[in-house]
Amino acid sequence: MLDKPASVLHQPTRADGPPLDFQEHLVRLEAAGLLTRIDRPIDKDTELHPLVRWQFQGGLAEEQRRAFLFTNVVDGSGRRYDIPVAVGALAASPQIYSVGMGQPVEAIGDAWMRAITRPIPPVRVQSALCQEVVITGDALRKPGEGLARLPVPISTPGFDSAPYLTATLCVTRDPDSGIQNMGTYRAALKATDRLGVRMSSRVGGAGGYQHWRRYRARGEPMPCAIVIGAAPVVAFTGPQKLALDFDEMAVAGGLAGAPIETVRGVTVDLVIPAHAEIVIEGLIDPELLEPEGPFGESHGHVALEDFNMSMQVTAITHKRSPVFVSIVSQVTPSESSVIKKVAFEPVFLSHLRDHLGVKGIRRVVMHEPLSNLRKIVFLQFAAATPRTEIWRGLSGASTLKADCGKIVVAVSDDVDAANADAVFWSMAYRCNPIDDVHIVPYRSSGHGPKSGRRTEDSTMLVDATAKHAMPPLALPKREFMERARGIWEELGLPVLSPQPPWHGYTLGDWTETWDLFAQRAVERQWEKTGLETFARRRGGLTPETPTREAEGKR
């Protein structure tokens, strides 16, 4: 059941402003016809994500996508969870993102720029609905309790090693400056009171990782609070990749047009959004890392086992009647790509037009299907724009973010930059490679599979065929997608027109051990994997060190 949240009484939402409580957001989505309720039993480990995934892989138009609210969540053992699960409710489509922002789609870019330049600091309250229920101590460690009590879905059944928290805001604090950071990082269930947390250590990666490095130097555990189900304007700041010294809570206040109410954690000295659905508090080991993964990633392949952070949970707090929030990621388009695309494109355009003063720039399109936005960017210019301005635009788009713009293509304004076929046509007939292609070396390899040799990347045109064995395609295995499609059709949901690829399959880089992890995950035996990876913990490593490198396996 949804709360008619008392949180709204504490922090009322203006009729013309964004919802400041996630359940109020669900109410608005339902009123707008953008929410689908599923009341029949749905297995969180084998059916839930594949069912929602069909609206991205089934040939539906973007405007046909919906938020899903599952009110009868079960697992393979017959356990029924008393917490409903929302998926697609943050950004299954730009229209859904728009409801969360309280802005029309076309105004979202300007709203972000205003919020970043005019943030509103949060305010502290003494009590909060996110702490109506507090679970600590021995209650976290009882069989089937703690994290196991939460209806955490498996995102990529058949490949993922465990249920994963995905729609997260991981709150950490710089131990030197005291400035907090909120980032969206994945977290694997390892035990009823332990998580494996991955904070990207690559260039342009996670602010939380930079904080961890400072705690590691001090030899102190890093406090962390993982927030699930914050108001959308708060949740959207995590994937935005703001500067490390930016307080995302203040930017969220700028988006809301009012201070965000916050409260101190129960067991950690961190400030968290007071109107969140669920908060998981804990301490991250400053030295010992443990194997984490495999997990289907947004670059379109399964991320294989890495050594990553080990978080001991000290408390789980939540509303009396919370909603668990998850996002669809993996192969794009997905909810995670829409969250980025809706905000990134106008931010890139503003950077080129307003900060660099590039003349003639009309539009920025980040290519979404399969390639996941970051790698391929299309720029649209007015006719007769000077070549010097076109090259300044190409350079500016490729350097704004370390992991964005590996391939950047400029087209004239008679070409629809959102139509890849039209862009290819323009490249075929309006581009002389010897004059019109520039290869720039020394680029970060960015967000992508780690299979094969890791090295620096470059900005260039490439042969995109696979040159070595690669991790599996990050979609649920065929059997799970087919089962979910049967449920989809049974429910009378819109007719599907599957477009390949619509299920995951191996591409040569996969082991029997990871197959075992995935099998255990869908059979609710993921704690066995957690026990085994706990025994493999070791120090002296940097997060994201592949287990095969550290353990000498091939």
Q: For the segment 185-225, what is each residue's pLDDT rounded down to a tens digit?
A: 999 999 999 999 999 886 656 689 999 999 999 999 999 99
Secondary structure letter of residue 323 according to DSSP: -
Superfamily of domain 338-459: UbiD C-terminal domain-like (3.40.1670.10)
- Cα–Cα distances (Å) from 396 to 240, 266, 344, 350, in that order, read 18, 44, 14, 11
- Tokens representing 9 are 């009484």
Instruction: List the pLDDT tens digit at each of the 554 positions of the chain.
Output: 343 333 333 455 556 789 999 999 999 999 999 999 999 999 999 999 999 999 998 988 889 999 999 999 999 999 999 999 999 999 999 999 999 999 999 899 889 889 988 999 999 999 999 999 999 999 999 999 999 999 999 999 999 999 999 999 999 999 999 999 998 999 999 999 999 999 988 665 668 999 999 999 999 999 999 999 999 999 998 877 777 777 889 999 999 999 999 999 999 999 999 999 999 999 999 999 999 999 988 777 899 999 999 999 999 999 999 999 999 988 878 888 888 888 889 889 999 999 999 999 999 999 988 888 888 999 998 888 988 888 889 889 988 888 888 899 998 888 888 888 888 888 888 878 888 888 888 877 665 566 666 567 777 533 333 435 768 878 899 999 999 999 999 999 998 988 767 888 887 889 999 999 999 999 999 999 999 999 999 999 999 899 988 998 65
- The predicted model scores a pTM of 0.83
Place of tokens 């979404």: 368
Cα→Cα distances 126→182, 229, 257, Å:
21, 20, 22
What is the gyration radius of the CA atoms in the chain, in angstroms?
A: 22
Listed in order, strand segments (DSSP E) in 150-259 are 164-165, 168-173, 180-183, 186-191, 194-198, 222-228
Q: In the structure encoding, which two tokens stand for residue 163, read together?
A: 């249920």
Q: What is the pLDDT of residue 21?
A: 96
Residue 338 corresponds to which amino acid?
V
Domain covering 7-330 assigned CATH 3.30.830.10 in the classification? no
Quote the Cα angle for 201-87-252, to 5°: 60
Backbone angles phi and psi of 215, in degrees to 5: -65, -40
* Type of residue numbered 485: R
Residue 527: what pLDDT? 96
Q: Where are the domains of the chain?
A: 7-330, 338-459
- What is the C-alpha separation between 345 and 196, in angstroms, rounded? 32
CA-CA distance, 30 to 41, in Å (whole number)?
20
